[in-house]
Amino acid sequence: MWAMSTTSARPYRGQSAEERRAARRVALLDAALEVVADKGWNSTTVRDVCQSAKLTERYFYEAFGDRQGVLLALFDHVAHEVTVLVLDAVKTAPEDATERSRATIGAFVDALADDPRRMRILITEAPDDAALQERRRFAVLAFARLLQQQAEAFYGVPGGNKDAELTSHVLVGGFGQLLMAWQLGDVEVSRERLVDHVSKLFVAAAPVRSGDQSSSTAAR
Amino acid sequence: MWAMSTTSARPYRGQSAEERRAARRVALLDAALEVVADKGWNSTTVRDVCQSAKLTERYFYEAFGDRQGVLLALFDHVAHEVTVLVLDAVKTAPEDATERSRATIGAFVDALADDPRRMRILITEAPDDAALQERRRFAVLAFARLLQQQAEAFYGVPGGNKDAELTSHVLVGGFGQLLMAWQLGDVEVSRERLVDHVSKLFVAAAPVRSGDQSSSTAAR
DNA sequence: GTCAGTTGACAAGCAGCGCTGTCACACATC
DNA sequence: GATGTGTGACAGCGCTGCTTGTCAACTGAC
């Protein structure tokens, strides 16, 4: 299978073999972004991606091995991009917890709204592929855990607490749902109000405690 | 295409033609429930469903016309089942708003937890098909609007208000997300605590108002 | 200019799926 | 029992998709 660069790997059109490979990979990934955003994960075919990237199947399989490979790589790529943008915003955000939460949520909304394809990739378009679903599930879990930690730090409660865990799952999922409805036009509000409302929901939800004061069986 | 029951429609094995048709439809729908819950919407093939129902393709196309038909019918069927269960619980619930909300959420959790296939159909397994996505979207929207109305009635705010709309979207989506994580084992709590926590989140979120006191552009 | 690596266009193998058609057998009616 | 409908097993058509392979044309090194 390594019929090509077994021996030399010459430059071609002023680019080294590595550069060319990298460029093709980027082109393919970019094409995949376009196609998946347009037709969804499951309707995205290898041919579609190649045609959009103006490359032939050979280079597709050189870069990603198989169809699932490009889908996973695309998800990871977009998720990473958005993560970087959000973490950047968090770093430069004010100390105040409420303002910080607003900045974080705002950065997230911007990252997705600036390029609607990201929104479709990460939130709107539903993956059928099991591996892809896992990927998304872990991403959501990670985000929920991050939220949980922030809430625990803010309220000074011990780590690993169930309340924060439950709440963060609801907030992450709910945020995603609202973003989706917003993008699809089911909800008509300004970006500012969206961010404002979600921030306030986060603040309002944080102190909620269950399992220790009313009808409940849970531990603790 | 109506080669069969154009003329007679005789009884067969003690059942009338209508009875047989209905029984086959039920068997196919039940098989579809099983298959979709197992492999997801898009990996569900006509052959799979027929094999699971122990019927041949001919009866499949007699009952549903085409592949999409059975998927839509399945979604509607399960959604209807769950709706009936929840509305029943609401009817017999106490007057008190908090208790009523707890009863509603509990009924929803039970309806999905009793038969995990329902959970997968309605929440976990993601549809790729456009029509199916629409169906699901409308179901979520309807549920969110129901919530919104209840909140508005509870808090005595005027109908059609944006705050309740935004909040209800977040709560519906978040509830679904938490249910999913719960079923997948990502969150380990008792059913009671789950219901308790979500109920309290609903109560805590209801009074949240945006767009009138802080940095925001939104209308009103 | 020659040769080897590089690229693009395209064909072809292979498998799976939606959907339709055929045919022998089972059952009900007479 | 004879007749015609109901039923099940199964083949087949057309299409699409993934993946591999072929071949001519292009580019750079000697």
User: What number is the average pLDDT over the span A79-108?
Assistant: 89
Higher pLDDT, A206 or B215: A206
Domain spans of chain B, in order of start: 15-65, 68-205
Residue A1 has pLDDT above 70, yes or no: no
B192 touches A at CB < 8 Å: yes
The reply to whether B135 Cβ lies less than 7 angstroms from strand D is no
Give the lowest-confidence range in A146-150, A189-193, B135-139.
A146-150
The reply to whether B10 Cβ lies less than 7 angstroms from strand D is yes
Distance separating alpha carbons of residues A196 and B193, to the nearest angstrom: 29
* Residue % of chain A over a pLDDT of 70: 92
A217 contacts on B by Cβ (under 8 Å): 190, 192-193
The pLDDT of residue B68 is 97
Q: Do B170 and A178 touch (CB under 8 A)?
A: yes
Q: Do A196 and B205 touch (CB under 8 A)?
A: no
Task: Give residue A8's pLDDT band: very low, low, confident or very high (50, 70, 90).
Answer: low
Nucleotide nearest to A54 (CA to C1'): C8
Nucleotide nearest to B44 (CA to C1'): C17
The CATH number, out of the four listed (1.50.10.20, 1.10.357.10, 1.10.1660.10, 1.10.240.10), of the domain defined by the range B68-205: 1.10.357.10
User: What number is the average pLDDT over the span A100-104?
Assistant: 87
The pLDDT of residue A219 is 37
Is the CB of residue A176 less than 8 Å from the CB of residue A123? yes
Give the lowest-confidence range in A40-44, B82-86, B202-206.
B202-206
Note the helical H segments in B56-190.
57-64, 67-91, 97-114, 116-119, 130-155, 162-183
The pLDDT of residue B198 is 95
Number of Cβ pairs < 8 A linking chain A and chain B: 176
CA of B56 to C1' of D9 (A): 8
Give the lowest-confidence range in A61-70, A158-167, A169-178.
A158-167
CATH topology for B15-65? Answer: Arc Repressor Mutant, subunit A (1.10.10)
- Judged by DSSP in three states, B125 sits in coil
CB-based burial, A9-46: b 16+ in 10 Å, e otherwise: eeeeeeeeeeebbeebbebbbbbbbbbbbeebbbbbeb
Average pLDDT of every residue of chain A: 88
The pLDDT of residue A133 is 93
* pLDDT (tens digit per residue) in B124-150: 999 989 999 999 999 999 888 887 877
Residue with tokens 């808090």: B155
The reply to whether B187 Cβ lies less than 7 angstroms from strand D is no
* pLDDT (tens digit per residue) in A129-142: 999 999 999 999 98
Task: Give residue B34's pLDDT band: very low, low, confident or very high (50, 70, 90).
Answer: very high
User: What number is the average pLDDT over the span A151-167?
Assistant: 83
The reply to whether B128 Cβ lies less than 7 angstroms from strand C is no
Task: Give residue A144's pLDDT band: very low, low, confident or very high (50, 70, 90).
Answer: confident
* pLDDT (tens digit per residue) in B49-66: 999 999 999 999 999 999
Residue A214 has pLDDT above 80, yes or no: no
